[in-house]
Amino acid sequence: MKKLILDLDTGVDDAQAIMVAIADPDVEILGITCCHGNTPLENVLKNTLRVLKVCKRLDIPVYRGCSTSLLGREQHAGDYHGKDGLGDVPDEDAPGLELLQKRKAAQALVKMVKENAGEVTLVATAPLTNLAVAVQLDPSLPKKLKALYIMGGNTESRGNTTVCGEFNFVADPEAAYIVLDRYTCPTYIATWEFSCRNSLPWSFCDAWLAQDTEKARFMEKIACLSMKKAQSADYQKEITEGKGFNSCDTYAVAAAIDDTFITESDEVAVSVELEGTYTRGMMVLDYMGLLQKKHKVFVMKQVDLEKFKQMFMNSLK
Ligand code: BDR
């Protein structure tokens, strides 16, 4: 059994990532820690519970995390995910926040990792604020992790939020800096450009959503807005080069649950630009070793797309 903790800002692709993890019978989700990001934290919490309800997995503990970046800022991605983070589709029967755990996300991360030392794979698909706080609480936390998978950052300075910056890193550059500096466990990064290059063909997405299940009907509703946006001519031309839909966060989960999913990666030291008029929040890759950092991460380049499709299909069954 693979033990996973998911740190999310549940928007549409986080929802897809949760569903892929839940569908794998060899995965145990120890908990979901929520962070500000795609939408304000209160929506993130509600969205996470909505997804768990559809999956009939409200038994998975959900924790309230940071509501702003380390510097107290908030940035959201309502244009893509909807103001509520899940496509702005009303849900009268959303579970109430009384279902949340009492413990806060950073404390919960420290506790869960300590109790399962050496066994936990942490997957972070939000701004990295919760992880940055957790490592301040317990500097030995990274050593107790089996691995860390992150969705965030850039490889070619092609931004989706600022000219050069990817959303999760731009939303909290200081947290991303701390995490890339202090988490010295095996680390795998699914960047923005990588996810664009490995997008899912639209014909596959049609078949994926056409499944006659409650989960597929839920997904079709919540993904409608973001898929329309992703299908727009500009997005296709500039971002996925006409290929299809990139469910960014799901790559990180897929890589965490299947060791053979990543088919090509670069092992390189990385950091984050904290200043710069155009480049704040951009990930920098130190191929020449100029930063003299001992710790290198695996920057994902290619994945097994057929495996990805299979996981996607299964997630809505
Ligand atoms: C990342 O930003 C968010 O909008 C997505 O959920 C993903 O985590 C892509 O840059």
Residue bearing the CA closest to ligand 1, atom 2: 167
Ligand 1 geometric centre to CA of 168 (Å): 6
Using DSSP, state whether 80 is helix, strand or coil.
helix
Residue 177 banded pLDDT, cuts 50, 70, 90? very high
Ligand 1 geometric centre to CA of 12 (Å): 9
Residue 175 banded pLDDT, cuts 50, 70, 90? very high
pLDDT in tens, 32-87: 999 999 999 999 999 999 999 999 999 999 999 999 999 999 999 999 999 999 99
CB 102 within 8 A of CB 57: no
Pocket of ligand 1 (CB under 6 A): 11, 13-14, 38, 77, 80, 125, 151, 160, 166-168, 192, 248-249
Catalytic residue among 7, 9, 84, 249: 9
Mutation to probe ligand 1, out of 6, 13, 160 (largest number of atoms < 8 A from CB): 13
* Annotation says 79 is catalytic: no
Beta strands across the sheet bearing 27-34: 62-63, 27-34, 2-8, 120-124, 145-151, 187-190, 297-303, 262-272, 283-286
- Tokens in use for 237? 């031309």
Mutation to probe ligand 1, out of 131, 156, 157, 167 (largest number of atoms < 8 A from CB): 167
pLDDT in tens, 72-131: 999 999 999 999 999 999 998 999 999 999 999 999 999 999 999 999 999 999 999 999
pTM of the model: 0.97
Query: How much of the chain, in percent, has pLDDT values that exceed 90?
Result: 93
Tell me the pLDDT of the chain averaged across its residues: 96
Does the pLDDT value for residue 213 go beyond 70?
yes
Give the pLDDT of residue 54: 98
Please tell me the distance from the alpha carbon of residue 20 to that of residue 23, in angstroms, as a whole number: 5
In order, the DSSP letters of 195-255 are HHHTPEEHHHHHHHHTS-SHHHHHHHHHHHHHHHHHHSHHIIIIISTT-EE--HHHHHHHH
Does the pLDDT value for residue 243 go beyond 90?
no
Query: Per-residue pLDDT averaged across 123-147, rounded?
Result: 98
Could you report the predicted ipTM of this complex, rounded to two decimals? 0.98
Contacts of 175 (CB under 8 A, 6+ apart): 69, 70, 127, 128, 129, 131, 132
Ligand 1 geometric centre to CA of 92 (Å): 26
In order, the DSSP letters of 264-296 are EEEEEEEEE----TTTTT-EEEETT-TT--S--
Ligand 1 geometric centre to CA of 161 (Å): 10
Does the pLDDT value for residue 236 go beyond 80?
no
CB 69 within 8 A of CB 281: no
Does the pLDDT value for residue 240 go beyond 80?
no
- The helices-and-strands tally (H runs, E runs) of the chain is 14, 11
Residue 242 banded pLDDT, cuts 50, 70, 90? low
Give the pLDDT of residue 244: 87
Mutation to probe ligand 1, out of 9, 10, 253 (largest number of atoms < 8 A from CB): 9
